[in-house]
Amino acid sequence: MAVLGSLFLLSMLDMKTLNLTRLDGLLVEPTRDLAQLELYLQAGSDHRDEENPYVQWFLQRTEIPLSIVTYQENLYWMDDPFGRRNLVLVMSLDQLLTNRGAAAPIQKAGTFFYILADQDEDLSADEQLRLEGSCRQLWTQHKVYNRFFLTRDGVWIYDPFKRRDSAFGRLVRYYGSETLDKLLFRDMAGYPLRIQMFKSVYTRPEFDKESGLLTRVTGVDFLVAQMLRERLNFTMLLQQPEENYFG
Ligand SMILES: *[C@@H]1O[C@H](CO)[C@@H](O)[C@H](O)[C@H]1NC(C)=O
């Protein structure tokens, strides 16, 4: 990788403003603990993905084992061909907004970097809203959140707990501070979570004699849930325990 990286560097010396140091500030933290990365470049000579500053950064600046793949969007792209891997994908905004093909990894274990190749300026307000909508869809359907959108002027992420008016979920700027699991889950801003608790040594659900409905829960489990709720700031929606759901 290092050899390939320096070849690129030689051929790119007179490129625009290739500010790799600034990109360090944005990308070092989110990539720090990744065991591997796969870089997907768009196939075809009309794409010049390797000239993109973010692509350059991944080629030159990471110590992470990196494999490079060229890909072509096609009708037969499987639902989620990526398994649990971490991906850097170069694609157009239109492709990203479809949530299909390469734009739709539905597994939650990986980290995803989307390099928007067709951006010669920052996302417009309208594009931000459309991207936010497609992110909200992936979050509500698959709980996928670990995605970074690399645009010409900086990095965006989707924060499922920030609000857009009364709805949860908002596209926000990312400044390189932390990984998203740390950054996002510190304050869930009252996000509703369904919680079920089962009668056990640690949990005593109490029911209304007439209706059979759950009235309250006491016990150690409940105390732990309360502590988590306070710490993470979510709203606990206590569910009626289901007999068959235990285990
Ligand atoms: C918890 O979320 C609510 C609703 O968004 C917010 O007003 C409050 O400041 C948050 N509390 C903490 C401790 O972060």
Q: What is the DSSP string of 1-25?
A: -HHHHHHHHHHHTT-S---HHHHHH
Supply the mean pLDDT for the chain.
85
Q: Which residues of the chain have pLDDT under 70?
A: 1-18, 75-76, 78-80, 243-247
- Per-residue pLDDT tens over the stretch 6-48: 444 444 443 445 478 889 999 999 999 999 999 999 998 788 8
CATH 3.40.50 in the chain is located at 2-184
Query: Residue 12's pLDDT is what?
Result: 45
Which of 187, 229, 230, 231 is the pocket-test mutation for ligand 1 (most atoms within 8 Å of CB)?
187
Query: Residue 16's pLDDT is what?
Result: 45
Dist. CA 190 → ligand 1 center (Å): 6
Query: Residue 14's pLDDT is what?
Result: 35
In the numeric block, which tokens belong to residue 187? 């304050």
For tokens 């909200």, the residue is 136
CA atoms within 13 A on the CB side of 206: 6
Dist. CA 161 → ligand 1 center (Å): 11
Dist. CA 157 → ligand 1 center (Å): 20
Query: Residue 10's pLDDT is what?
Result: 42
Residue 218 in contact with residue 204, Cβ under 8 Å?
Answer: yes
> Which residues have any ligand 1 atom within 6 Å of their CB?
187, 189-190, 233
Which of 185, 233, 236 is the pocket-test mutation for ligand 1 (most atoms within 8 Å of CB)?
233
Query: In the 3-class helix/strand/coil scheme, how is 22-67 assigned residue by residue?
Result: HHHHHHHHHHCCCCCEEEEEECCCCCCHHHCHHHHHHHHCCCCCEE
Query: Residue 78's pLDDT is what?
Result: 66
CATH 3.30.460 fits 2-184, yes or no: no
Q: At what angle do helices 2-12 and 53-60 cross, to 10 degrees?
A: 140
Query: Residue 91's pLDDT is what?
Result: 94
Q: Which atom of ligand 1 is nearest to the CA of 233?
A: 1
Query: Measured in Å, how far apart are the chain's first and last C-alpha atoms?
Result: 47
Query: Quick check: helix, strand or coil at residue 229?
Result: helix
Dist. CA 242 → ligand 1 center (Å): 31
Give Cα 232 to chain centroid, integer Å: 19
Q: Which residues, including other chains, have CB under 8 Å from residue 163's CB and lie 6 or more apart?
A: 169, 170, 189
Residue 67 in contact with residue 36, Cβ under 8 Å?
Answer: yes
